[in-house]
Amino acid sequence: MQKVLPTRPGADRAAAALVRVELRDFRNHARLALDLQPCSLAITGPNGVGKTNLLEAVSMLAPGRGLRRARLADMARDGAAGWTLGFTLQVDGARTLRIGTGWARGGKRRVRVDGEEAASTLHLGNVLAVHWLTAAMDGLFSAGAGVRRRFLDRLVAGMNPGHAALVANWERASRQRRELLKLGRLEDAWLESVERAMAEAAVAVARARLAAVSVLGEAVAEGAGSFPAADIEVRGAVERLLESAGAGAAPERLQTMWRAARPADQASGRTSAGPHRSDLVVRHRNRGMEAARCSTGEQKALLISLVLAAVRVETGRRGTPPLVLLDEVCAHLDPQRRAALAAELDGLGAQIWLTGADASSFRDFRHVQPVPLKAVRAVQGAVH
């Protein structure tokens, strides 16, 4: 494998970087312990060695279900009753933070930060942000709105650490309403208060999305090197209402709408309108074209533009760059775009996790530590 260790002192250091990662019984990794440099990483190895699984493990540093949106039980190695992940995060080259998360059969996912048990996985959003692009996201622009909305909500959460909790509030309240409607309690006073909570949560979520999209929109409208400029917009009933009626009147209007929709929602078992239906609309600025109509490579480039813009904005706002997980990203880029990506990533100050079966695809990346994974049956030791 080609030697691509950092060459320029300073430029190789990410302001927030994982310097140690330990996986136990996570997917195909019985035990994997990696000591890492605080720079970007190129995870290489043959198909099936566990590269994407390693990225999935790191994605569990975000609240939620990780980059495959898998069930916690599916992450446990076949035959194991749970899994554990341990991370050492170095911030600004000085402070280190130990983060642990894990799951055991019958329980919920637990999180510890510097030895202290967090009340919920949502706490992770306060510690750092994690973004990812995977091959499964290639169809993001032609998929259903849900995939784009989740992508958007992750970008928003990067800029606004409380966002995941707002979305969780909305989901909890709308679930309660569905349960009450299922029980036939259409006139219940409790339903009224649940719809009030839904309205507050819906407005909070939509406001956070609009604010983030406005800031992100400015950043992504500039493009990044040879990555395309884009125009972005969040489109949804609550966002529209907020813009037309304002934040003061919007909750009341939403409540009136849901009150009227009770019979229909009872019949369908769904919530007729709300922030769970919003969509992220992306246009390729120079081509004047909706992202869904762009080529696969152009769509990938647009996604990269969005992530690069989010990293720049977040780093400015939080002071700490997010971790960025790019699974097989080079495979979809022509040599010119690959070189451009290397140049862009270099300047971000973020730890980028790149994967690829072919180590030569990282030739253009000057500041990455090679992390070759080998197919092993037993214990895997530290990689240097």
Give me the residues that bind ligand ATP (CB under 6 A), please: 27-28, 45, 47-53, 74, 76-78, 357
Q: Which one, 96 or 296, has the nearer CB to Mg ion?
A: 296
Q: How far is CA 263 from CA 132, 167, 181, in A?
A: 40, 25, 8
Q: Which one, 107 or 162, has the nearer CB to ligand ATP?
A: 107
CB of 355 to Mg ion, least distance (A): 6
CB of 59 to Mg ion, least distance (A): 13
**Who's near 201: CB < 8 A, 6+ residues apart?**
166, 169, 170, 173, 275
Question: By CB neighbour count within 10 A (0-12 exposed, 13-18 middle, 19+ buried), where does 20 fall?
Answer: middle
In what side-by-side order are the strands of the sheet with 368-372? 130-133, 323-326, 352-356, 40-44, 368-372
CB of 59 to ligand ATP, least distance (A): 12
Q: Which of 273, 174, 291, 278 is nearest to 230 (CA)?
A: 291
Return the range that interacts with Mg ion (CB under 5 A); candidates 14-22, 52-60, 192-200, 300-308. 52-60
CB of 105 to ligand ATP, least distance (A): 13
Return the range that interacts with Mg ion (CB under 5 A); candidates 46-54, 143-151, 157-165, 215-223. 46-54
CB of 41 to ligand ATP, least distance (A): 14
Nearest residue to Mg ion, using CB?
52
102 binds, among ligand ATP, Mg ion, none (CB under 5 to 8 A by kind): none
**Cβ neighbours around 121 below 10 Å, total:** 20
Q: Which one, 17 or 67, has the nearer CB to Mg ion?
A: 67
Q: Which of 285, 287, 262 is nearest to 273 (CA)?
A: 262
Answer yes or no whether residue 53 interacts with Mg ion by CB under 5 A: no
Q: Which of 52, 101, 351, 369 is close enough to bind Mg ion by CB under 5 A?
A: 52
**Buried/exposed code over 197-207 (b: 16+ C-beta within 10 A; e: otherwise):** bbbbbbbbbbb
CB of 237 to ligand ATP, least distance (A): 38
Q: Which one, 52 or 160, has the nearer CB to ligand ATP?
A: 52
Q: Which one, 56 or 153, has the nearer CB to Mg ion?
A: 56
- The sign of the dihedral angle between the CA atoms of 248, 250, 253, 258 is negative
47 binds, among ligand ATP, Mg ion, none (CB under 5 to 8 A by kind): ligand ATP
Q: How far is CA 262 from CA 18, 177, 180, 188, 314, in A?
A: 48, 9, 10, 11, 40
Q: Which one, 173 or 373, has the nearer CB to Mg ion?
A: 373
CB of 373 to ligand ATP, least distance (A): 7
27 binds, among Mg ion, ligand ATP, none (CB under 5 to 8 A by kind): ligand ATP
**Contact, 27 vs 56, CB < 8 A?**
yes
Q: Which of 179, 131, 120, 122 is nearest to 155 (CA)?
A: 131
Residues of this chain that interact with Mg ion (CB under 5 A) are: 51-52
